[in-house]
């Protein structure tokens, strides 16, 4: 005698087993060539946990390791202080829109970094010798404290609302209600 739905029960067991695979067997989120921690996916601070646009254009992952290595070599000749740039804006951005940076936590990051607490911090690196107007100011760094008090640092703050044509790297820091993440992004501002 056959049991009704016996095949269906087996299919359900197989489906449940597939969803319970260890993370090592699951796919690493892009960029797959970079370090990844299943337990702490945002810990490497390379931008996996939020999405961004610059001047309305999407920031995309550099998925191909060869492309990443080529860009890394180029950037080291332009500015040796730049960290690994895993993200790119593929289309040129208008200079009048280049400082328009939008961020939001993505599916991976929302439970870890939370909703956006405040606007992103953006550091701009001009790579082609562009002259950017800025002024020095003292800023209390709330995330770094000595004897319970925030450390005060000097930073240069842009005093212009556009970027001249050329290549740039942006360090975009997403500040969530629970934690933070950072994307290093390569982009070109149109002439």
Per cent of the chain over pLDDT 70 is 86
CA distance 165 to 185: 16
**Stretch 71-88: mean pLDDT:** 92
Parallel, antiparallel or unpaired: strands 87-88 and 50-54: unpaired
Report pLDDT digits (tens) over 110-166. Answer: 998 999 999 999 999 999 999 999 999 988 887 788 998 888 988 888 899 999 999
Report pLDDT digits (tens) over 26-38. Answer: 577 777 777 777 7
CA distance 9 to 62: 42
Indicate whether this model's pTM tops 0.85. no
CA distance 74 to 172: 20
CA distance 107 to 168: 28
How many CA within 13 A on the CB side of residue 157?
7
């Amino acid at each position: 005698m056959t049991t009704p739905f016996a095949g269906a029960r087996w299919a359900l067991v197989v489906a449940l087993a597939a969803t319970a695979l260890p993370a090592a067997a699951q796919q690493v989120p892009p960029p797959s060539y970079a370090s990844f921690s299943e337990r702490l996916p945002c810990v490497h601070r390379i931008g996996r946990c939020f999405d961004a646009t610059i001047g309305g254009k999407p920031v995309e992952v550099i998925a191909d390791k060869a492309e990443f290595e080529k860009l890394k070599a180029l950037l080291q000749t332009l500015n040796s202080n730049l960290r690994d740039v895993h993200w790119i804006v593929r289309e040129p951005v208008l200079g009048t829109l280049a400082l328009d940076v939008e961020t939001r936590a993505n599916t991976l990051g929302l439970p870890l970094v939370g909703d956006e607490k405040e606007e992103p911090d953006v550091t701009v690196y001009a790579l082609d010798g562009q002259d950017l107007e800025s002024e020095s100011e003292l800023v209390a760094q709330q995330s770094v404290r000595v004897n319970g008090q925030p450390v005060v640092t000097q930073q240069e703050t842009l005093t212009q609302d556009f970027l001249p044509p050329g290549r740039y790297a942006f360090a975009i820091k997403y500040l969530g209600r629970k934690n933070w993440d950072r994307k290093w992004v390569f982009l070109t501002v149109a002439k």
